Structure 1
Amino acid sequence: MTLTYFKRYRMEIDLAEVPAQPISLPSSYRFAAWRPELIEAHATSKYESFRWEIDANVFPCLGDPEGCRRLMTEISHRDGFVPAATWLAEYQDEATGMTIPVGTVQGVADRSGLGSIQNLGVVPEHRGSGIGGRLLLKALQGFYDYGLQYAFLEVTAQNEGAIRLYERLGFRISRTVYKAVEAACS
């Protein structure tokens, strides 16, 4: 085994600078507030969002359906889990009548009292409609309502689209970190 290092940015935001506003999704989409029975839907959305992305290399559990299920269960049982900062975006397929999970975000208050965004993801077929930004705003509002003043997230430096979104919403890079990942030698 050999180690591969992924460059990541820690990005932070002052929640007082996030404008309070009604957050709605395009028609055919809806938000689902956290409920334990949504673990499977969050895990499915997480897997579909990340399985072909670089983050599945950084965090291998994101490239595995069972790994996403375990991760979602673990996050929801953490001390500091913030249900009000945990949201699912669902798509109502009019042709089939099915409701499909298409986006997910989870929030945890860390030991120092900061909101920590976990695994914001939107499945590829539903990107470009503003769903990711709206999910993130819902999570930030949840942190603010929970009484937190600041929030942060980490993003892989190669994920330029996500970085642009986060900066547009007011996040600023506060530091660079490196994530070591074991990789099989070829």
Structure 2
Amino acid sequence: MAITYYKRLRMEVDLDGSNLSQPLPGPFFWAPWDETLLIQHAEIKYLSFREEIDAAVFPCLGDRQGCLRLMREIRRKPGFLPGATWLIACPEGYVGTIQGVVDYGPIGSIQNVGVLPAYRGLGLGRALVSRALWGFHQAGLRRTYLEVTAENRSAVQLYRALGFRKAKTLYKAVGG
């Protein structure tokens, strides 16, 4: 069995107030966490990641039921933070998702940032991350981290632009 190793970056940012929530462009609006939206979070996660490198790194992201299981697991985590968990909507429906968890430290942990391919390049990813950072700040946290696949250059650039800096390099082994 062949094993592929994917380089992942753990990136961290201090929550000093300068990187907090920004307004959404155009016809988009925020949908705060609600239990009844769990399936929508999972669906947007699936549609956002199914054809991306992260679906190879984490096969559940390339599977509709896998995304639903993942979303349920995130929701059940003791540190699940509704204030850092959002959907972006527009008249056509939901187009972006992010989830946040308070991890040991305490430190904020961004679980997933997903924007439907047709809506990328509009600033929605930036808005999602900023909104989650605002939620962590509101919860009294002073630091947040996320992990990103190094090959996902646009995501790495976005996180750097928001003040995230590489804290550690990790390698994820995936059997094939």
Kept in 1: contact 2:6–2:172 (CA 8 A) = yes
Q: Distance in 2 between matches of 1:117 and 1:79?
A: 15
Partner of 2:150: 157
Q: Distance in 2 between matches of 1:2 and 1:101?
A: 38
State the 1:17 CA deviation. 5.0
Q: What percentage of residue pairs aligned between the two structures are identical?
A: 52
Query: May I ask how many residue pairs the two structures share in their alignment?
Result: 176
Partner of 1:65: 64
Kept in 2: contact 1:44–1:101 (CA 8 A) = no
Distance change (3 Å), C-alpha of 1:20 and 1:74: closer
Cα deviation per residue 1:97-144 (whole Å; 9 max; x = unaligned)? Answer: xxx111100000112211000110101000010000001000000001
Kept in 2: contact 1:61–1:67 (CA 8 A) = yes
Partner of 1:96: none
Q: Secondary structure at the match of 1:89?
A: strand
Kept in 2: contact 1:84–1:143 (CA 8 A) = yes
TM-score (norm 1): 0.91
Amino acid at match of 1:136: V
State the 1:19 CA deviation. 4.0
Partner of 2:4: 4
Partner of 2:87: 88
Partner of 1:77: 76
Q: Radius of gyration: which is bigger?
A: 1
Structure 1's consecutive aligned runs of 4 or more residues displaced over 4 angstroms after TM superposition are none
Q: Distance in 2 between matches of 1:55 and 1:132?
A: 16
Q: Distance in 1 between matches of 2:80 and 2:20?
A: 22
Structure 2 runs not aligned, ≥5 long: none
Kept in 1: contact 2:85–2:99 (CA 8 A) = yes
Task: Say yes or no: does 1:108 pair with 2:107.
Answer: no
